[in-house]
């Protein structure tokens, strides 16, 4: 069944109030970060105190399916070797000299086996998870600490863990308040109460409506945000949305035929959706990032491909990641809201 995009739905209060849940969850992102970090402050202090009784770990292992986010933040900064291990177990060499950190927002079984293995091997273990979950039960041990989280929010859970790693001097400064403030600013700018003329997320959703999104972020965290946003766009529209490194996206742009100036936009026959390049600009001015961004923009211009940019002026790296991700999440929510079936 054919679908089309009705932009009037984005400003129709009766429409978006019927799907209030997802939009409200996005608006509360900053509040969840503040609440989780505040409620876990005592446990973080206890875990830091316990770590002072032990020597600096030989290596840090981020285990479980959410380990890649920690890697994106910590790998350039961590003063000891850092490994992301997203599988259900641990590297064979992991032992009592190593620190294992686990993000388990839902506390489910996907991370429980790695946690249990870390306890069995005598590793230092810090887990951010719901305190009554399966993961928390498996984490019980002499060298283990549980940082309680309850919202199920991956980003808020990650900020709790990053606050701990900052305090034990294994990670960069995160500043949870700045992360939360960056999220609040996006929520205000992209609120459904702001009409599409001044709402960047609604305007982006309109731009995305009849395209195949090609999403790129230059920095490590921006690239991760690009992949998350592409995933949300696929779920919102049921269509293809691509994200990847510049070398993978350039062939897609370069293979796009020039736009036919005689193409009838109102023709009954379904048209092939053209790519649209969505650039996540986190302010990075590294030479490689600038070069790749320029290559992508030039390829898009040469084929007549539309380019949209998400920007942020948040003060820290994690805050910039959070801001870009939430902006894209709002656009995906409005894309879902505007798409209707014949």
Q: pLDDT tens digits for 194-252?
A: 999 999 999 999 999 999 999 999 889 999 999 999 999 999 999 999 999 999 999 99
Mean pLDDT for all residues in the chain = 91
Q: pLDDT tens digits for 33-69?
A: 999 999 999 999 999 999 888 889 999 999 988 888 9
User: Are the beta carbons of 247 and 296 closer than 8 angstroms?
Assistant: no
**Is 111 inside a domain boundary?**
yes
Q: What is the pTM of this model?
A: 0.93
- Clarify whether residues 324 and 186 are in a common domain: yes
Give the residue numbers spanning the domain of 267: 3-28+179-341
- Clarify whether residues 9 and 65 are in a common domain: no
User: Are the beta carbons of 232 and 324 closer than 8 angstroms?
Assistant: no
Q: pLDDT tens digits for 250-278?
A: 999 999 998 766 565 555 555 678 999 99
Total count of domains within the chain = 2
**Is 51 inside a domain boundary?**
yes
C-alpha 144/C-alpha 212 separation (Å) is 46
- Clarify whether residues 120 and 234 are in a common domain: no
- Clarify whether residues 144 and 185 are in a common domain: no
User: Are the beta carbons of 135 and 112 closer than 8 angstroms?
Assistant: yes
**Is 157 inside a domain boundary?**
no
What CATH number is given to the structural domain containing 124? 3.40.50.10490
**Is 156 inside a domain boundary?**
no
Rg (CA), the chain: 22
């Amino acid at each position: 069944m054919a679908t089309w995009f009705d932009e009037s739905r984005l400003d129709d209060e009766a429409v978006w109030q019927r799907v209030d849940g997802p939009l409200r969850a996005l608006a509360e992102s900053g509040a969840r970060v503040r609440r989780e970090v505040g409620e876990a402050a005592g446990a973080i202090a206890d875990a830091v105190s316990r770590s002072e009784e032990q020597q600096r770990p030989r290596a840090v292992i981020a285990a479980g399916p959410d380990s890649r986010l920690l890697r994106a933040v910590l790998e350039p900064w961590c003063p000891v070797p850092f490994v992301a291990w997203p599988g259900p177990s641990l590297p064979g060499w992991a032992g009592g000299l190593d620190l294992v950190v686990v993000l388990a927002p839902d506390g489910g079984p996907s991370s429980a086996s790695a946690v249990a293995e870390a306890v069995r091997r005598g590793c230092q273990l810090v887990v951010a998870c719901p305190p009554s979950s399966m993961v928390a039960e498996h984490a019980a041990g002499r060298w283990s600490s549980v940082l309680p989280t309850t919202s199920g929010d991956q980003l808020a859970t990650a900020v709790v863990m990053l606050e701990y790693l900052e305090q034990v001097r294994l990670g960069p400064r995160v500043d949870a308040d700045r992360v939360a403030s960056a999220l609040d600013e996006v929520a205000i700018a992209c609120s459904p109460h702001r009409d599409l003329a001044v709402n960047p997320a609604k305007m982006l959703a309109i731009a995305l409506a009849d395209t195949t999104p090609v999403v790129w972020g230059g920095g490590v965290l921006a690239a991760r945000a690009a992949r998350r946003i592409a995933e949300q766009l696929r779920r919102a529209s049921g269509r293809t949305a691509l994200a990847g490194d510049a070398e993978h996206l350039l062939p897609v742009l370069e293979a796009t035929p020039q736009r036919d100036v005689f193409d009838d936009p109102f023709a009954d026959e379904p048209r092939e959706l053209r790519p649209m390049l969505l650039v996540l600009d986190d302010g990075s001015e590294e030479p490689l990032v600038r070069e790749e961004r320029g290559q992508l923009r030039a390829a898009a211009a040469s084929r007549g491909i539309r380019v949209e940019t998400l920007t942020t002026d948040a003060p820290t790296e994690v805050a910039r990641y959070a801001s870009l991700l939430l902006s894209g999440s709002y656009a995906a929510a409005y894309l879902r809201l505007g798409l209707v079936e014949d």
